[in-house]
Structure 1
Amino acid sequence: MTGGTEPPREVSMDVIQRELTAFARRARAAAARVHPELPLVSYTLLAHIEEQRGCRATDLAAHYLLDKSTVSRQLAGLEKLGFVERRPAPDDHRVHVLHPTEAGTTVLASARTNRRAAYQKRLKDWSAEDLDRFAAYLLRYNAAGQNAVPDGPPDGPSRPPH
C-alpha cells in the first residue's frame, strides 16, 4: 500500500498473529511450570486421550494435524513418565488404544486447576458479556481451522495450540 498506511484488516491480522504467537509461548511456559517434563504438545495429547476416554495414536495425529512421528515421539515420552498406557482394543486386539494412567489423570487435574486459576486471575475484570463473546470467537476461530493444513512445523512455535 502506498503512503505507508496498511488497511485496517491487515493491521488487525498482524495484531492477531502477534498476539496468538505470544499466547502460544505463554501456554508452553505455563505447561512447563505444571510439569517440567510435560511440554505443551504432550499435555494437549494427554488431555485429548482423557477427554475421549481412550484413543489411537492415529486419531491424535489426524485431530491435531500432526505427523505420526511427532505423535509417536510425544507418546513415548508420556509412556516413559507413566502418564499413558496402551491397551488392546476390545474389538480388535491388534489395535492399541491409549489411556491415561492414574498418574496422568492426576497431573491433568493439577494442570487444569492451575490453568483455571490463571485464567480467572487474568480475566477477573471482564464482564460476562465480554467473556461470552471471547469464548464464541475462540470457538469460531478453532472450528475454522479444524480442516486446515498446518503452516509451520507441527510441534514448532509458529502453530498455536487447538
Structure 2
Amino acid sequence: MPDRDAALETIQRELTAFARRARQKASQLHPDLSLVTYSMLDLVKERGACRAADLAAHFMLDKSTVSRQVGGLEKLGLLGRRADPEDQRGQLLRLTAAGEQLLADANEQRRRSFTERFEGWADPDVAAFAAYLVRYGSAD
C-alpha cells in the first residue's frame, strides 16, 4: 500500500502543477481570459450554442458567476446572444467570428506545445497516456 499511496501523492502533485500551468498558459493567450472562460468558449463551440444556465450546470458554477463571465466575453466580442427558437424568453450564446478565431489560435498553440512536450516519447507511450487520461476522465 505505501507504493500506491506514494503514487497517489505524485498524481495529485502533478495534476495540480498541470492545472497551474494551464491557467498560466490561458492568461498568456489572452490577458483578459482565464482557464474557466476558455473552457466556457470551448463548450459553446462544441455545442454550437447554449444557454448561460447550461454553462452553470456543466461547470457547477453559480449562475451569477457565469453571468459575469459571459458578460465579459460579450464585451470582448467573443460571444453573442440570440433568441432561443424553442423558447423566445431564453437566449442562446454563440461564438462570434472573433471567438472562433481566438479558439482556433489557442488550439493551434496548445497543439504545438503538446507536440514539443511529447517529442521524446515513443508513440505507444503517448497512446497509453492518452488512454489513461480518457479512463481517468470517465471515472466521474
Tell me the TM-score range normalised by the shorter chain.
Answer: over 0.9
List alignment gaps of at least 5 residues for structure 1: 1-5, 146-162
Deviations 1:83-122, CA, capped at 9 Å, x for gaps:
0011111111111111000111111111011010000000
SS in 1 for 2:32: coil
SS in 2 for 1:87: strand
From 130, 134, 138, give the equivalent of 1:139. Answer: 134
SS in 1 for 2:138: helix
Counterpart of 1:62 in structure 2 is: 57
- The aligned amino acid for 1:34 is L
Deviations 1:66-96, CA, capped at 9 Å, x for gaps:
2222222211111111100111111111111
* % identical aligned pairs: 51
TM-score, length of structure 2 as denominator length: 0.94
Deviations 1:23-79, CA, capped at 9 Å, x for gaps:
001001111111111111000100110111011111112222222222222111111
Counterpart of 2:34 in structure 1 is: 39
TM-score, length of structure 1 as denominator length: 0.82
- The aligned amino acid for 2:9 is D
SS in 1 for 2:80: strand
Instruction: Supply the RMSD in Å over aligned alpha carbons.
Output: 1.2
SS in 2 for 1:111: helix
Count residues with an aligned counterpart. 140
Counterpart of 1:8 in structure 2 is: 3
SS in 2 for 1:54: coil
Tell me, yes or no, if structure 1 residue 76 matches structure 2 residue 81: no
SS in 1 for 2:92: strand
Q: Deviation of residue 127 (structure 1)? A: 1.6
Q: Which has more helix, going by share of residues?
A: 2
Q: Which has more strand, going by share of residues?
A: 2
Counterpart of 1:155 in structure 2 is: none
SS in 2 for 1:97: strand
List alignment gaps of at least 5 residues for structure 2: none
Q: Deviation of residue 139 (structure 1)? A: 1.2
- The aligned amino acid for 2:40 is L
- The aligned amino acid for 1:14 is E
